[in-house]
Structure 1
């Protein structure tokens, strides 16, 4: 098989675009214009099948991204303030400075508004982001089809759910360069819930995961008792069949750190899938493993975005829902307390709901909804560290949408926010699913989004001590291994070039053709990923996954930020330029294990960076010493 190079992928996409554009000439009743050009095309994945035309009256909440006039300049600022060898290191931008850099040009804004008015869209219907680079409006399918010169259809998934989508769309030439993306159109990613936890053992049909969510370990039961440690050695504190907050705090050197800047420093995690951080469960967990923090279970801030579900004290334990949200909150508080926690609950996708095609549904894509909300916050409301334990196969998201979301993350990084994303739970891809959407036949490793974004820090998973790459059989019959890969969408960032190229060369051609050697590689770092005793529905369940690794790494860096802020210094912000130039020397290298997946043994660990555990795991005392900070 020929190597999967970026040029090959581009040629395939252009060919598909050409076919799609030709099909528009004969595709039906939508008015065709002579001055339109295909903007984006992304075929429906194999799991989706067209069921028929979307009803013309179905309402779509349309989000239009305007080209950010000076994004290249924003990116330059981001790398300068994140580079320890640059004189601007740590001088993060304000919200106003970022908005000024990304706001659309007057020409772009005027052209897009002219286009909308051409189709009868009243300016009073429009809603804007603070930088005016995003416009949202709710319109019927018939209007959107005419505007985008396309046809929407109802697509059914093999699991029984449906969505209203189109594989591609076109724009008039006079707005083509001024619009970066229009959604929902051809983004197929869904933050889908796994099978019910209580039924996994009984079911034989495997459902493909499209999300990184906490997995239940096979044949796990909580130990009869997990006593609090009498001393601080890892051997005495840690039982790796049940990794408690005290084990994590000892493992990463935070157990004796005294928080000093809790009034200024904040940490956060995101929730999707209608998950809510269940305060009663979190209280039980903290009472058992971090008693001094128990009351905080009812005090941390929970924010609903776009109808995201919040715990109102009457949540019903349904199909394992809230396991992920509980895991994130329990371990972030368990490690980072008393650093204040914010839990963001973003709606916009109901994973168990099969919508009536005649009934409006919220078609927002959650990552974009959350990112737009965050970039609109004033500086004083932004947390310095955010963890996200969710993700999708990269190829289920259109390139235009992925780039639009990733660019929003760059804005947050420029403002001093460290974004941590789980790298995934199935190594280089879940077995039997590693097929390209471009032709539905080419075998390839399966990169994940948004962990492939070059402006975030991707977190892999380890196990045991000394730590090795995580591996665990799941109750579903699948195997959990640390997510690993190389993006087909995003080029290798300059900060990775020397180190990642050296690793690829060391492979000696292993898996050539299955991955894009010139793509953004991940993960960047790792933290422990199994097995976490987690309180859910009042009882203890054992969870594994990078879903636990990301919030733990984020909490460690929240404490590191605390030490920086307490001495009047800026927070770390976007970590990767520092990490790849110098910071990796402060991490504990992991050199045992592989990523597995796609019916292979996957990428191997190696000294230094590897595509399984990144640079390894953090140790707070090392970080503090390197920056001349006190415990």
Structure 2
């Protein structure tokens, strides 16, 4: 009712205003180059309907780092005093001035007030427009783009769009425009789509810089600690990180693993794995939370569709043990799929429970117009687990700075609410997906010279996890090295995000003691967010996939293993009546000796050896791998 009244007031106000004073259009967002593989093939039909969504500027975002540090830095008197969803919503709700300005602009351009809708949380202004109307509003051209390898077609505007000068300061971004991970309607207008295959979505086989690799099936399982250099099992992880813990506060604690359809675990694979490594868990399954029609599909099988989920769940469940439930956030239906923002919509209750609001983004449209999930989009329907691990990513250059900034702010809001977010750092060293690097101007391609960081690993409000290995012939008690078997630990420096305060001392120490020998044109040396933050083993994992044991490699393993260890830290704190650890980066960068320093190995890519793992923090393995007893002790000393 409140929003209905607000819409009426806005309509009357707009009518009273009449035409606004004219102001020149200025460029609001620019893309210097297309994501690799996409080419324009024709102008978009002028009558194609676009779900235009205008993301309004959120107040107080400039202070979000300091607000997050206030509840997550060990020296803060407010450490652990996490916010409620309502407080998050109130703090970042766009102003009435921003809402009014955008409404006035749209109506002055001929979009009737009846076609304009304000999201309940006030974060987005929505209006379905034709391509012709959108081109006039944004002073741009829309084209149909085709992906060379898949034949999928996608509508986006040409390299940039414009807004009136008086409007631009009230708008963060507009979709669909430059963002190739954004899903919008169009199949009825002649766009080609593969069945069961969305445009540029996590979950598609081979998507992104994080994708587990296998060297094939294993004939004999070596389940002894002296064989951890050849095969990693749960016992190897426990030995490597001194991880011995029996949960005692399982009803208070929670851990979540994120998967994107069509990626799916195979139930019989879980039992096969548990039979060999954790017999008491045979028959146990993760708690399924389907987001936007997410289901554990059993139609298609193969390593590229089952390897990720099997790996994530087998190790996270075995490491936390039978008594601690593991929640599976299965995101996206089988037809359209989903993206990270669809997950955030479901998790971030501040957009959906405060004043009945939601945060609609066009990363997945539900009800699915292509015949999939027929329900409404999940928005604020899922209570976030205390620790959430995701083993998917984009190249940072795939997305625009405005898009990544808005999404990164959502991770900060989850941190304010006490949630620990972990992302794999990437499997291609300093290169991006499939070894793509950057030319001058951020154009991606093979043979390019410049390093290509991954996202969300570069977001300063998540914990990025790199990969290590037990060296061939080494003992499980010997120091690990950076992973150089099959994959290379993703790491480097963001081209979009500035260095956060909690990281400055560690990164500056690295740059002073071990200055990279590469020209500064090859990596961002201007004081940017560096990654990863921590690391864990990422080589030679024994995983049951489609009825066979295979050797699996990737930061896909490092993230859920780290999440399991951090979940045990939460369990111990909750058992003592303390708060969950929440956003851990300010704390872990202040700890001394809580991580095993990795001093060997590199993360090659882009025709180079990449960076080197050295004493202290480095852009290969971060602070190092967890030493569980010391890490637990540090966190238990905090309020």
TM-score (norm 1): 0.81
Residues 1:600 and 1:125: Cα distance change in structure 2 (over 3 Å): same
Q: For 2:606, which of 580, 585, 598 is the aligned residue? A: 598
Give the C-alpha shift of residue 454 in structure 1: 0.5
Is 2:329 aligned against 1:344?
yes
Which residue does the alignment assign to 1:199? Answer: none
Which residue does the alignment assign to 2:454? Answer: 448
Which residue does the alignment assign to 2:153? Answer: 162
Question: 1:570 aligns to what SS in structure 2?
Answer: coil
Residues 1:410 and 1:91: Cα distance change in structure 2 (over 3 Å): same
Residues 1:319 and 1:462: Cα distance change in structure 2 (over 3 Å): closer
C-alpha separation in 2, matches of 1:330 and 1:315: 21
Is 2:82 aligned against 1:97?
no
Question: 2:271 aligns to what SS in structure 1?
Answer: helix
- 1:534–1:543: 8 Å Cα contact kept in structure 2? yes
Give unpaired runs (5+ residues) of structure 2: 1-21, 182-199, 354-379, 471-475
- Report 1:127-526 matches (<5 A): 128=119, 131-135=121-125, 138-159=128-149, 160-166=151-157, 167-188=159-180, 190-191=200-201, 210-217=208-215, 220-227=216-223, 235-236=225-226, 239-255=228-244, 257-272=245-260, 274-297=262-285, 300-308=286-294, 310-311=295-296, 314-318=298-302, 320-337=304-321, 338-347=323-332, 366-376=339-349, 381-429=383-431, 433-436=436-439, 438=441, 440=443, 443-464=449-470, 465=476, 466-473=479-486, 480-513=487-520, 514-517=522-525, 518-526=527-535
Residues 1:627 and 1:346: Cα distance change in structure 2 (over 3 Å): closer
Give the C-alpha shift of residue 176 in structure 1: 1.2
C-alpha separation in 1, matches of 2:112 and 2:319: 50
Question: 2:144 aligns to what SS in structure 1?
Answer: strand
- 2:209–2:454: 8 Å Cα contact kept in structure 1? no
Which residue does the alignment assign to 1:614? Answer: 622
Moved more, 42-51 or 111-120: 111-120
- Report 1:555-566 matches (<5 A): 555-566=564-575
Give the C-alpha shift of residue 371 in structure 1: 1.8
Residues 1:507 and 1:224: Cα distance change in structure 2 (over 3 Å): same
- 1:191–1:392: 8 Å Cα contact kept in structure 2? no
- CA deviation string 1:374-429 (max 9, x = no partner): 21267992211111111111111101101011011110011111111101001111
- 2:396–2:454: 8 Å Cα contact kept in structure 1? yes
Residues 1:132 and 1:606: Cα distance change in structure 2 (over 3 Å): same
- 2:347–2:383: 8 Å Cα contact kept in structure 1? no
Give the C-alpha shift of residue 58 in structure 1: 3.6
Moved more, 73-82 or 185-194: 185-194
- 2:458–2:493: 8 Å Cα contact kept in structure 1? yes
C-alpha separation in 2, matches of 1:46 and 1:382: 34
- 2:296–2:330: 8 Å Cα contact kept in structure 1? no
C-alpha separation in 1, matches of 2:102 and 2:315: 45
Question: 2:625 aligns to what SS in structure 1?
Answer: coil
Which residue does the alignment assign to 1:6? Answer: none
Q: For 2:58, which of 32, 57, 68 is the aligned residue? A: 68
Residues 1:76 and 1:328: Cα distance change in structure 2 (over 3 Å): same
Which residue does the alignment assign to 1:528? Answer: 537
Moved more, 71-80 or 556-565: 71-80
- 1:193–1:211: 8 Å Cα contact kept in structure 2? no
Give unpaired runs (5+ residues) of structure 1: 1-32, 197-208, 230-234, 351-360, 474-479
C-alpha separation in 2, matches of 1:289 and 1:537: 17
Give the C-alpha shift of residue 492 in structure 1: 0.9
- 1:214–1:546: 8 Å Cα contact kept in structure 2? yes
After superposition, the CA RMSD in angstroms is: 2.7
Residues 1:388 and 1:121: Cα distance change in structure 2 (over 3 Å): farther
- 1:395–1:437: 8 Å Cα contact kept in structure 2? no
- 2:428–2:435: 8 Å Cα contact kept in structure 1? no
- 2:56–2:171: 8 Å Cα contact kept in structure 1? yes
Is 2:50 aligned against 1:77?
no
Is 2:548 aligned against 1:539?
yes
Give the C-alpha shift of residue 516 in structure 1: 0.9
C-alpha separation in 2, matches of 1:602 and 1:593: 10
Which residue does the alignment assign to 1:53? Answer: 43
Give the C-alpha shift of residue 609 in structure 1: 0.5
- CA deviation string 1:440-468 (max 9, x = no partner): 49731111111000001110000114211
- 1:48–1:157: 8 Å Cα contact kept in structure 2? yes
